[in-house]
Amino acid sequence: MTTVSGGSRPPSTPTPGPPPAQAIGLLPSAPAIGLPPSAQAIGLPPSPTRPRFEQPPPLSLYVHLPWCLRKCPYCDFNSHALRADDDVGALELRYVDALVADLEASLPTVWGRTVTSIFIGGGTPSLFSPEAIDRLLVAIRARLALAPALEVTLEANPGTFERERFEGFRAAGVNRLSLGVQSFDDRMLAAIGRVHDAGQARAAAASAATLFERFNLDLMFALPGQTLPGLQTDLETALSFAPGHLSVYHLTLEPNTLFARFPPPLPDDDLAAEMQDRVEAVLAAAGLSRYEVSAYARAGQRSRHNLNYWQYGDYLGIGAGAHGKLSLQDRIIRQVRWKHPARYLEAALAGQAVEQEHEVAVGDVGFEFMLNALRLVDGVPTELFGRHTGLPFARIGATVSRAVARGLLEPDPQRLQATPLGLRFLNDTQALFLADEAKKSAIMVQLVAEPPP
Ligand code: SF4
């Protein structure tokens, strides 16, 4: 997992996009911009239990590119190793065609709305050529209205690094790079099965720092055989490139991965907790404050795209296995695209990229909101709940009071924010907002599988 950002090009300007869906007969006239008709408009009785949006939340675009050089043994993302006989040039040509077809077919669900960020994730998007990324971004600009200060992030991996390639991404309009370094220690990189070595990681980080004003480095800790001094060296090496943003993840053994079947020896819980404390202390001393469970940033460098996820904003997800969440006038829907690249290619080119779509049950919306919002160390303004869920605060008011009484949420009526205790036991704090245990497990599984917030 990686990303890039930068900014030699001016931000993308809003473009007019295609004619309104109504004009081409896809939808009846909708009373509010970008929103399909309400239940009432099509003759159903008004229901006070449905969400109601005057304006939908901010909209992001996630684009999934599913290929990697090799599958890492801990990875449970929808990523697929390239085969020796894969022709990357032909593959990227067809895949970008499929993404454009997917986007075209999705336009009626987001018509009239402005996209505030684009995140090209994977997989290893930097396997694609700058020409393919340029073609993709040109197609997006021609079809969607884009915010003037658009953030365009691309994930890149050091194993696919060439300076000219990074320059090409920047010229295509990428203005933030996220680089999947994971460690600067050859032994750690080998232990977690990464294709790159420490020298490549350093070279890629140095180029990211030179070419992009905004860039992120991904690091991992609690790696097999890792020590506290080893982690300290990794952090100091990362800081030597002066990144504005660091994502630091605790290695976990996810089901259906090679590591789950053949677990490596990992640091015990006490050492892992010490490592977490060390990460926070070292990064805070360097001016990068923790603003989310795994994210640290200098002022002005927070990931706008990920913040939108955590604030329960909307996102259209295109690409193999991509998830999306969209607020319509009186409901919230979730979509999942076909997961396997070959199936996705075929389906998307036929205008049928979405494999599953369902409406989020009203009873689950409060839990989903808190599941995301409480990951933010500063929480969110209380009024955001109504704006981004379309529901009254009363839906979660009693549970908020219980969480405050138990010391898990701050007693500030203006903010929904976990206390240090609530953040330490985040799963339990979030789970308070869903009483139904069976549903809780199902939703946790589904949301954890979503694009990385
Ligand atoms: S490079 Fe990233 S997405 Fe690809 S297999 Fe490794 S961890 Fe997964």
Task: Show the 3-state SS of 136-147.
Answer: HHHHHHHHCEEE
Exposed / middle / buried, residue 171 (Cβ in 10 Å: 0-12, 13-18, 19+): middle
* CATH class of the domain whose range is 3-27+53-305: alpha beta
193 CA: nearest ligand 1 atom? 6
Which atom, in ligand 1's list, is nearest to the CA of 74?
Answer: 7
SS3 408: coil
Mean predicted lDDT score pLDDT of the chain: 88
Does residue 122 have its Cβ closer than 6 Å to ligand 1? Answer: yes
Closest-lying ligand 1 atom to the alpha carbon of residue 71: 5
What stretches of 181-268 show up as alpha helix (H) in DSSP?
186-191, 198-211, 228-239, 258-261
Ligand 1 pocket: which of 64, 65, 70, 71 to mutate (most atoms <8 Å of CB)? 71
Please name which of 224, 279, 273 lies closest in space to residue 251, comparing C-alpha atoms: 224
Q: What whole-number distance in Å separates Cα of residue 37 and Cα of residue 51?
A: 13
Ligand 1 pocket check: which of 3, 70, 76, 77 to mutate, most ligand atoms within 8 Å of Cβ? Answer: 77
* Range list for CATH 3.80.30.20 in the chain: 3-27+53-305
CA angle at 441 for the pair 440 and 445, rounded to the nearest 5°: 115
Q: Is the CB of 182 under 6 A from ligand 1?
A: no
Q: Which residues contact 245 (CB under 8 A, 6 or more apart)?
A: 214, 215, 216, 217, 288, 295, 296, 297, 298, 301, 302, 303
- Ligand 1: which of 3, 65, 78, 79 to mutate, judged by most atoms within 8 Å of the beta carbon? 79
- The single-letter DSSP state of residue 416 is E
Per-residue model confidence (pLDDT) at position 319: 98
72 CA to centre of ligand 1 in angstroms:
5
Whether 71 lines ligand 1, by a CB cut-off of 6 Å, is: yes
For residues 187 and 233, give the distance between their C-alpha atoms in angstroms, rounded to a whole number. 13
Torsion angle (degrees, nearest 10) of CA 57, 59, 65, 66 = 10
What are the residue ranges in the chain where pLDDT is below 50? 1-47, 447-453
Domain with CATH 1.10.10.920 in the chain: 361-453
Given a contact cutoff of 8 angstroms between Cβ atoms, the answer to whether 165 and 174 are in contact is no
2 lines ligand 1 (CB under 6 A): no
Establish whether residue 189 lines the binding site of ligand 1, counting it when its CB lies within 6 angstroms of any ligand atom: no
The identity of residue 324, as a single letter, is G
Q: Which H or E run contains 276?
A: helix 269-285
Closest C-alpha to ligand 1, atom 7: 75
Q: What whole-number distance in Å separates Cα of residue 95 and Cα of residue 87?
A: 12
- In sequence order, what are the beta bridge partners of 153? 119, 176
158 lines ligand 1 (CB under 6 A): no
pLDDT of residue 438: 53
| Nearest C-alpha neighbor of 67 from the set 260, 321, 273, 426 | 321
Which amino acid appears at position 266 of this protein? L
Local structure of 335: helix, strand or coil: strand
In this prediction, residue 160 carries a pLDDT of 78
Q: How far apart are CA 244 and CA 233, in angstroms?
A: 18
Q: What is the CA(404)–ligand 1 centre distance, in A?
A: 39
Instruction: Name 354's bridge partners.
Output: 337
Structure tokens at 147: 């915010």
For residue 330, the CA-to-ligand 1 centroid distance in Å is 37
Residue 442 has a pLDDT of: 57
Burial 215-227 (b: 16+ CB within 10 A, else e): bbbbbbbbbbebe
Cα distance between residue 67 and residue 83, in whole Å: 10
SS3 69: coil
Cα 115 to ligand 1 centre (Å): 27
DSSP 52: -
C-alpha neighbours within 13 Å on the C-beta side of residue 424: 7
Residue 66 CA to ligand 1 centre (angstroms): 9
According to DSSP, the residues that pair with 418 across neighbouring strands are 409
Residue with the two structure tokens 């005057």: 54
Taking only the tens place, the pLDDT of each residue in 306-354 is: 999 999 999 999 999 999 999 999 999 999 999 999 999 999 999 999 9
What is the whole-number distance in angstroms between the Cα of residue 37 and the centre of ligand 1? 41
Secondary-structure class of domain 361-453 per CATH: mainly alpha
Q: Would you say 62 and 315 are in contact if contact means Cβ atoms under 8 Å apart? A: yes
Q: Are 406 and 331 in contact (CB under 8 A)?
A: no
Q: If we measure between CA atoms, which residue out of 342, 345, 285 comes closest to residue 318? A: 345
Name the residue with tokens 């890492």: 72
Q: Report how far residue 195's alpha carbon sits from residue 189's, in angstroms, rounded to the nearest whole number.
A: 8
Is ligand 1 within 6 A of the CB of residue 181? no
User: What is the C-alpha to C-alpha distance for residues 51 and 55, in angstroms, rounded to an integer?
Assistant: 12
Q: Strand 80-81 relative to strand 114-122: parallel, antiparallel, unpaired?
A: unpaired
